[in-house]
Structure 1
Amino acid sequence: MSIVRRIPGFYDRPGPELPAPFYEGFVRFYLAGNEVHLVASALVVAWVAVFIVQLIKGDVRGVLGVSYWLDSEPKFYCTQPLNMERIFSQIGEQVVRQERALARMQQELSRDGFVRSVALVGPPGVGKTLTTDILRQQFPWQSNIFVFFWRGSVQSPTWRYHVLQQITDQISCCGMNLIVLDMLNVQDYDVADAYTNELRSRFHRQIGRRSKKTVLVVYIFDLDTADWNLERQIQTLQKNISPHTPVVAYRPFGIEDLPICLENELKLESTRTPNSGPYYYALSEEAKMKVLDKALTDIADIGCYKLKGLIREYGEAVQFT
């Protein structure tokens, strides 16, 4: 007569009746499985605890052990040096008559530190935004570039600060990060102060961490040309902005700077690549005089900004050969 028993754990509901030898083998398998489950559960709990600690420290990829799967670029892409000398050499070829400001900016962005910030200050049309445009083009980590036009939005300051917070949350530990805040005026000095302090409080205690985040921040302040005392506006910014964000003053342009700006614009126009259009524009001597005469009326308000449009207006389209 065969002995039959029920499977353990199933007494509260009808279960299959099995012969004794089959039952004893099943019990051994069941108990062994429980031990495996306990070990596996302990390992999962330990891994989750380590993951949470590393998440707080900002090294999630290290604990996951899948850096090469998460990063689309190889390791040397993240660790390559930032050649400031080469970048500012390129900037100096296009931004004219601002040698002192460019030298100061290069010095400040080349210093040590996880957060390096500068405030570019000057009237419109003297090369501030052009400087950051070239810096962005030459920046090795293109996916780590963030540009925000502070007064380019009609949204409330609260919404704008929320955008800055979103930018901060996206800062990468692969290579360096570049943040450009454009379209600020003298009254916005508190924006630069608050954001730099936030970045410093978040990232300055990274020594010893496996993954470190480095941020370059460039604030662009346009001075009010209706207020002829530009020096007073610069002094206001220097007084109110933290020393952690050095003020780099761009000199205003005058009549003597216009011909140099025009020749530089024509040089850049002639060296454009066909990818940007089938034509470039050249000026006759007569057309140059017309352009200079037109630009002269606005030199105090918008510097050399108007020249590019005037070249297209008075110039002759030349097809690339």
Structure 2
Amino acid sequence: MTTDKDKDKLKQRAAYITRRRGSSNRINPLDDAAAGGMGNWKSSTDGQRQVHRRRLRRLLKNSQANDNDIRGIIKSNNMPWSLKRQSHALFLLISAICLGCTLSYYNQSLTKFLQSYTNQYQDIVHNKLNYCDGSLALGEMFTELRGHVLYQDIALNQLERVMANNQSFQSIALVGSSGLGKSLTVRLLRELFPWRENVHAINWHYHMEEEIDTIWSKFHFSHCGRNLVIIDNMAMGDQDFVKIINEAVQQRALSNGTPENSANSQHVTMIYVFNMNRMILSNQEYDEQLNQLQQELSEPTQMISYSTFQRHHLEQCIRHEVKMKDLNLSENYIEEMLNTTDVEISGCKTVYAKVLIYGTKTDKE
């Protein structure tokens, strides 16, 4: 039997449903259950499930749409992997070339700036304009040489011509027996060379064969002026090392990324001194060894042969030393020196010591 209280609740529910239907054609079962209080729990649960299903369908539909959009974008931009790899490699190659060109340009600019700064510094230190100019002013130096190295005008003229060509690399071999002026020539070159700080001298011996690969690390070749390397005391049989040494020096001094005759390259003059032993050689054997040496010394080495002295050359050497030392030497001593000296074997090498022994000081008023 329905009471008045139940009737009031039914009326309230009917009024609520009527309002909801008037505002919307769809009734939320959750609201219906909340309003009824005593409504059917099953209908409320079914309503919740329907709401959840609708939400899931909307989410799945939106997700599929987004996936389709993404696939379309990928498909439109898709290209074969090999083509992508080639494109990336080409990009990296172009980038590397551009970077290398930029670094090379700035490196060359920096090198030129440092060399210009060094040249100006050397001008100030040595109080000489264009001190680092590699073109040798050989006139004064060879005038001094001719005043001390006697009777070798042909050899000195050849040496001057070779050194005056101003090539980046020069290789010269001075060849002859003892006492002809070869060692005196290189000693004066060391003293008179315009860039004395760039002079390096080596006394060759048979142990040097084992050190030939490492000896050049001790040298510092300069861009200022020209570098002079003198290797003295070489003998017949050592000519094979000339090519090896030349290649090592060129690799160290000239392989710096600049053209060989560029102003930025290091200029080097190599002078090899070969002593021929006349004590064990006849004149014919001596000439044959000279010809053999000439053939085996490969380019760019220029061989300069010093002329053999005769008796009158020895006499002139004695009188020259007497004059240079400002001494008196009797004709008897001069004759004795001429008779006891084998000029073909020793040349003028022993003259200096004998003049100091037999000569007397000049009396000055």
Q: What TM-score, normalized to structure 1?
A: 0.70
- What's the counterpart of residue 186 of structure 1? 236
**In the alignment, is residue 89 of structure 1 matched against residue 133 of structure 2?**
no
CA displacement at 1:254 relative to structure 2: 2.2
Whether contact under 8 Å (1:203, 1:213) holds in the other structure is: yes
- What's the counterpart of residue 162 of structure 2? 108
CA displacement at 1:50 relative to structure 2: 5.6
- What's the counterpart of residue 40 of structure 1? none
CA distance in 1 between partners of 2:110 and 2:288 (Å): 46
CA distance in 1 between partners of 2:233 and 2:109 (Å): 32
Whose Rg is larger? 2
CA distance in 2 between partners of 1:319 and 1:172 (Å): 49
Cα offsets for 1:49-97 (capped at 9, x unmatched): 969984xx79758359863797554663222742222221211111111
Distance 1:149 1:64, change over 3 A: closer
Distance 1:267 1:81, change over 3 A: farther
CA distance in 2 between partners of 1:195 and 1:112 (Å): 20
Distance 1:188 1:58, change over 3 A: farther
- Matching residue's letter, 2:334: K
Q: Unpaired runs of 5+ in structure 2?
A: 1-98
Distance 1:320 1:222, change over 3 A: farther
2:265 aligned to which of 212, 215, 218: 212
Whether contact under 8 Å (1:150, 1:160) holds in the other structure is: no
How many residues in Structure 1 have an aligned counterpart in Structure 2?
A: 256
Q: Unpaired runs of 5+ in structure 1?
A: 1-45, 271-280
Whether contact under 8 Å (2:176, 2:276) holds in the other structure is: yes
- What's the counterpart of residue 257 of structure 1? 313
Whether contact under 8 Å (1:282, 1:311) holds in the other structure is: no
Whether contact under 8 Å (1:59, 1:211) holds in the other structure is: no
Distance 1:141 1:319, change over 3 A: farther
- What's the counterpart of residue 305 of structure 1? 349
1:237 aligned to which of 278, 281, 293: 293
**In the alignment, is residue 67 of structure 1 matched against residue 118 of structure 2?**
yes
Distance 1:78 1:313, change over 3 A: same
- Matching residue's letter, 2:265: K
Which deviates the most, 180-189 or 209-218? Answer: 209-218
Higher helix proportion, which one?
2
Cα offsets for 1:8-56 (capped at 9, x unmatched): xxxxxxxxxxxxxxxxxxxxxxxxxxxxxxxxxxxxxx9xx969984xx
| RCO higher in structure (CA 8 A, sep ≥6) | 1
User: Cα RMSD between the aligned structures?
Assistant: 3.1
CA displacement at 1:206 relative to structure 2: 3.1
Whether contact under 8 Å (1:291, 1:314) holds in the other structure is: no
**In the alignment, is residue 76 of structure 1 matched against residue 76 of structure 2?**
no
Whether contact under 8 Å (1:59, 1:210) holds in the other structure is: no
Percent of aligned pairs sharing the same letter: 22
**In the alignment, is residue 291 of structure 1 matched against residue 337 of structure 2?**
yes
CA distance in 1 between partners of 2:288 and 2:346 (Å): 19
Whether contact under 8 Å (1:126, 1:251) holds in the other structure is: yes
- Matching residue's letter, 1:239: Q
1:175 aligned to which of 221, 225, 238: 225
